[in-house]
Chains A and B, each alone.
Chain A
Amino acid sequence: NAGVMQNPRHLVRRRGQEARLRCSPMKGHSHVYWYRQLPEEGLKFMVYLQKENIIDESGMPKERFSAEFPKEGPSILRIQQVVRGDSAAYFCASSPPGVSSGNTIYFGEGSWLTVV
Chain B
Amino acid sequence: AQSVTQLGSHVSVSEGALVLLRCNYSSSVPPYLFWYVQYPNQGLQLLLKYTSAATLVKGINGFEAEFKKSETSFHLTKPSAHMSDAAEYFCAVVSGSGGYQKVTFGIGTKLQVIP
Contacts and interface: CB of A to CB of B under 8 A. Distances in A.
Given A104-B34, A105-B94, 14 more contacts: A31-B101, A42-B105, A42-B107, A55-B100, A91-B43, A91-B44, A99-B99, A101-B51, A101-B94, A101-B95, A101-B96, A102-B51, A102-B94, A110-B43
Contacts of B103: 33, 45, 93, 105
B100 A56 contact: yes
Interface string A51-71: 000011000000000000000
B100 A104 contact: no
A42 B106 contact: yes
B11 to A, nearest CB: 15
B46 A99 contact: no
B35 to A, nearest CB: 12
B101 A95 contact: yes
Contacts, number: 69
A103 interface: yes
A88 B32 CA distance: 28
A100 B96 contact: yes
Contact of B101 (A43, A101, A106, A112): A101
B100 A48 contact: yes
A59 to B, nearest CB: 11
A103 B101 contact: yes
Query: Main secondary structure on chain B at its contact with chain A?
Result: strand
Contacts of A56: 100, 102
A109 interface: yes
B42 interface: yes
Interface of A: 4, 6, 31, 33, 35, 41-43, 45, 48, 55-56, 91, 93, 95, 99-110, 112
B107 A41 contact: yes
Contacts of A95: 101
Nearest to A110: B43
Top 6 A-B pairs ranked by shortest CB distance?
A102-B51, A42-B107, A101-B96, A107-B44, A107-B43, A101-B32
